[in-house]
A and B are shown apart, each in its own frame.
Chain A
Amino acid sequence: MTPAERAKQPPAKVPRDGPKLTGPKLEEKLAETWSNPPGFIGWLSSVDHKDIGRRYVITALIFLALAGALAIVMRLQLSKPDNDLIGAARYNEIFTMHGTTMMFLFAVPVMQGMQIYLTPLMIGTRSNAFPRLNAFSYWTYLAGGCLLWVAFVLNIAPDIGWFAYPPLSGPQFGVGKRADIWAQMVTFTEIAALAAAVSLTATILKQRAPGMSLARMPIFVWATLVTSLMVIFSMPSVALASSLLLSDRLVGTHFYNPAENGDALLWQHLFWFFGHPEVYIIFLPATGFVSEIVATFSRRTIVMYPIVVMSLVATGILAFGLWVHHMFATGLPRIGYSFYTAASMSVSIPTGLQIFCWIATLWEGRPRLQVPLLYVIGFIFTFVIGGLTGVIIAAVPLDLQLHDTYFIVAHFHYVLIGGAVFPLLGAITYWYPKATGRMMSETLGKVSFWMIFLGFQLAFFPMHIAGINGMPRRVYSYPAGMGLELPNLLSSIGSMVVAVAVLLFVINMVVSLRGGLKAAPNPWGAPSLEWATSCPPPKYNFPHIPVVDSRTPLWDAGEKMSVVHGLRVEERELLLTTVMHAKPDLREPSAEPSIWPFIATLATTVMFVSSIFSPWAVVIGAMPVIIALTAWFWPKSPAPEREPVIS
């Protein structure tokens, strides 16, 4: 029988399919099937992507607050020349903690948290792929963050910069356990990021609602797919780098020791091969937020969808060819530098195209100036400055002066705060009703937006000047009389304004949780599937899995959207679809809640933390990990009885 003939046959009757349910009875049964076990253990066992995404985002925001507080301490120290508020050693710890926390514990995790929360809702499925792996991802991330911050409280925090260049981080100069804690924290967060990325990639490729071909995916989902693949390709590089560093420190290998034919620059290649894509792992999800917000608030589809998608993909690929521009001062061959100059400049082409498409969408539409769109407009005004200073420092003769000065500090804060945090704050305002069922206050939102936007410019624009006036990065003080007093004072004042504004934003989040206006299922009149269910969504996301026939299903099909029938109700079951065209493919069971991912994280944490002190910890500590993983993956046979299915 050929496949064509087989397709014409009536579908085989599945013996386990029972009576067909619909309406409130269906929702009641689904809620029972998809709910967490009761109590604290049940809370720890949750594999619901919404729980995990929310935990990720809230944890990351707490780390943002902690690292932000450190930034304020640094700005106080630098507010006047030759200040002695905090000493050199403490300052070095603080800037290391600030950078490490912001990059590894805030920026990447908060984006992955948003992706974990939103992706299954946006593509119309009940859960993500590998939900237990996803739970493991969160717990591992939390353990890594706790390791770093407990170390800070115990005064054994790393003081080697977030980049940890050997030999400074090596056994000879990085005395104590500070560098080991940094390297092991990286191990935790990279495992967490990889686990989340694998789960997201599989979710997007196999669990899209029927009809949502790749060409109909929301742009945020495209951004998620591209960044998840980037995580999968780039994280192994830093995993390798930090493992080699740990083994240099723990068992006396000499990977980075020039005295024993090791190479200090090997670290920089491995680190930046990860470190540069990392920037885009943070930035591309933000462009996804921007695309969704621009479309909804312009009241139309994004202009030139294929260009936006191709730009995302192109940026993701080009990001792997730029790492050497972090190493222009290391004395590599000059002609090689020219290649990386050209590569670095070329990455602004896809970004320029995306900006064109967003502005064209606003131009063609009827923009509603509500808080999420204000953040997008603030994003464009700010990010473009960061992009253009990026073009400036792509040129070797300019970079050799500006590299490792406050000009760079200004540049990457324009790119990361302007380019990623502004869209994130807009996205939090935008999706807040989806997650909580309440709207955030528009007035308070506008006040904090303007304070953040203007305070940011005041804090970071003068840093360009400080850099040109000869202020290197990572200095705890600077001498008077070099033209650094005014720019630093302005930066310090601006940073306070931003801190107050972020506090207002958080107050808005907390107060609106109880006092905000109740949100309808689609309060902004948005086109994508996450708005096709209630606010907040039920545990099972959608009573009926929707069927999609355009890029903007809620605008085109609206209430008349077709739905999928026949999925099981009393067991967690998902509909898998084909990778390209999202044709229905398989019915797949989805994992039940389990405490074992949490226990596996505990075992992994014990192994990793004790391996800071002895290599034997790897051998002995692996056993509990193996036991936990065995229990986690213990197979269950399906129940033999007939069960109800969705009508």
Chain B
Amino acid sequence: MQRGGAYLSLCVTSCAGVQNAFGGQGAEDANFVRLFAVFMVVCTVMYLIVSAALVIAVWRRRQATRTIEDRKHHETSAATRPALIVWTVLIAVGLVGLTIASFFTDRSNAANGSKPRLSLTVTANQWWWDVEYNSPDASKIVRTANEIHLPVGVPAQVTLKSNDVIHSFWIPNLAGKQDLIPGRVTDAQLLPRKTGLFRGQCAEFCGVQHAQMALDVTVESKADFDRWYAAQLQPGRPPANPLQLAGYRYVTTRECSSCHNISGTPAGGHVAPDLTHFASRRSIAAGALPMNRGNLYGWVADPQSQKPGNHMPTVGLAANDLHAIVAYLEALK
């Protein structure tokens, strides 16, 4: 356990912490950190008791007399029975205490989501996240992919669906995980308490690229969130120069548009991530690559070598087309 303590402190000081259950930036995760500490104290005490008893039992062996060599191997000292009763009571009290603590934490987590002020739907796909901010007003619906933005202090209700296999929605800094199951609708409640950039990741094995199915999470002030939201409501930026125009033509008339959507353009596919504000995101291909020009070239030219087995085909682009597409995509802020 001492070794464990050393590891723990080592970790806490060296972790970057964008995807860390000890982050505590969400209400539910803060509950996790508190409850985990309670459990650790009780478990450490129990472990020390067992270890001490074991060490003493082995170490004191020279004094013992109740063995076959003494023909007393069926005898047991009178202290054993009371010791057993004390031990049983100790375990029972510890477990009941922990169960009650767990129960009340669970109630508190349930209460976090009782009055949501923001509603979004996250639909999992092999191996990316489709994100939609719900609104009764159809013109206020925002659709994005592989990222969510949340205003700090605002309880959000996340409806979870899956289009193919079972996935799991997990942003450890904010809350525990929740599976997305085809044929069912589940939900998660997020109540971010601190701003910051975090990372979520699929936590249920979902096929070949399960490891590359991440989600960029931005918790920001209400004002920043509203600015972002307003920008996301805009259609995709029109091409501003001949190179971008060539890219625009390719994307909207060739392979890309059959799967991808870019609002305000003829590209209207809905089986792959929405690209309307693609360049405003932090990463490419569900967290597989950081967003930069080099990675974008690599990804568009040959997605199968970057994230083997994903559902975006390598189409074999001519160099001119590749330059044009990257230039256009980079402009989709």
Contact = CB atoms under 8 A, between A and B. Distances in A.
Interface of A: 87-89, 92, 159-161, 165, 167-168, 172-173, 258-259, 262-265, 298-301, 303-304, 307, 329-331, 334, 337-338, 341-342, 345-346, 348-349, 352-353, 355-356, 359-360, 362-367, 369, 377, 380-381, 384-385, 388-389, 391-392, 394-405, 457, 461-462, 464-465, 467-470, 472-479, 481-483, 486-487, 525, 527, 552, 555
B314 interface: no
B147 interface: no
Contacts of B39: 391-392, 395, 398
B67 A300 contact: yes
Given A258-B184, A468-B20, A472-B201, A331 B179 contact: yes
A458 to B, nearest CB: 10
A364 B68 contact: no
B84 A307 contact: yes
A539 to B, nearest CB: 31
B176 A329 contact: yes
A402 B67 CA distance: 45
A576 B102 CA distance: 52
A355 B50 contact: yes
A618 to B, nearest CB: 28
Nearest to A338: B103
A634 B35 CA distance: 64
Interface in B36-63: 36, 39-40, 43, 46-47, 50-51, 53-54, 56-58, 60-62
Contacts of A555: 68, 73
Interface string B3-35: 110011011001111111110000011011001
B165 A349 contact: no
Given A345-B95, A474-B210, A331 B165 contact: no
**Interface size for chain B: under 10, 10 to 19, 20 to 34, or 35 or more residues?**
35 or more
B68 A304 contact: no
B110 interface: yes
Contact of A397 (B47, B58, B109): B109
Contact of A469 (B11, B69, B95, B208): B11
B91 interface: yes
A-B residue pairs, 5 tightest by C-beta: A258-B183, A400-B176, A470-B19, A483-B15, A475-B211
Contact of B177 (A92, A329, A342): A329
A395 B308 contact: no
A366 B105 contact: no
B309 interface: yes
Nearest to B56: A363
Interface in B121-172: 126, 160, 164-166, 168, 170, 172
Contact of A345 (B32, B73, B99): B99
Contacts of A301: 73-74
A160 B206 CA distance: 8
Interface stretch (B75-83, B218-226, B231-239, B270-278): B75-83
A352 B87 contact: yes
Contacts of A330: 179, 181, 186
A482 B11 CA distance: 10
A346 B95 contact: yes
8 contacts: A92-B207, A168-B207, A264-B183, A300-B66, A301-B73, A398-B39, A468-B20, A475-B211
Interface of B: 3-4, 7-8, 10-11, 14-22, 28-29, 31-32, 35-36, 39-40, 43, 46-47, 50-51, 53-54, 56-58, 60-62, 64, 66-69, 72-74, 76-77, 80, 83-84, 87-88, 91-92, 95, 98-99, 101-103, 105-106, 109-110, 126, 160, 164-166, 168, 170, 172, 175-179, 181-184, 186-187, 199, 201-212, 287, 308-309
Given A173-B164, A391-B98, A397-B32, A405 B66 contact: no
Contact of B102 (A172, A366, A398): A398
Contacts of A265: 181, 184
Contacts of A362: 54, 57-58, 61
Contact of B186 (A331, A353, A363): A331
A469 B19 contact: yes
Given A352-B87, A397-B106, A167 B164 contact: yes
A394 B181 CA distance: 22
B261 to A, nearest CB: 24
B313 to A, nearest CB: 17
A561 B175 CA distance: 65
B181 A364 contact: no
Contacts of B210: 92, 472, 474-475
Contacts of A367: 57-58, 61
Contact of A470 (B69, B166, B201): B201
B302 to A, nearest CB: 15
A404 B204 contact: yes
A169 to B, nearest CB: 9
B172 A470 contact: yes
A389 to B, nearest CB: 8
A263 B184 CA distance: 9
Given A364-B64, A366-B64, A483-B20, A398 B46 contact: no
Contacts of A468: 11, 20-22
A395 B105 CA distance: 9
B35 to A, nearest CB: 6
Given A300-B72, A474-B205, 14 more contacts: A88-B212, A259-B182, A264-B166, A304-B76, A329-B176, A377-B54, A395-B39, A395-B98, A398-B35, A400-B176, A404-B204, A465-B7, A468-B11, A470-B21
A300 B73 contact: yes
A401 B57 contact: no
B165 A168 contact: yes
A331 B50 CA distance: 36
Nearest to B71: A555
A621 B69 CA distance: 61
A359 B54 contact: yes
B5 to A, nearest CB: 11
A457 B6 CA distance: 14
Nearest to B13: A483
A395 B35 contact: yes
Contacts of B32: 397-398, 400-401
Contacts of A92: 205, 207-208, 210
Contacts of A356: 83-84, 87
B91 A352 contact: yes
B55 to A, nearest CB: 9
B182 A331 contact: no
A173 B46 CA distance: 46
B61 A469 contact: no
B102 A396 contact: yes
A155 to B, nearest CB: 15
B50 A482 contact: no
A481 B16 CA distance: 6
A277 to B, nearest CB: 21
A388 B47 contact: yes
Given A168-B207, A364-B77, A481-B16, A338 B106 contact: yes
A384 B178 CA distance: 29
Contact of B68 (A172, A299, A349): A299
B177 A483 contact: no
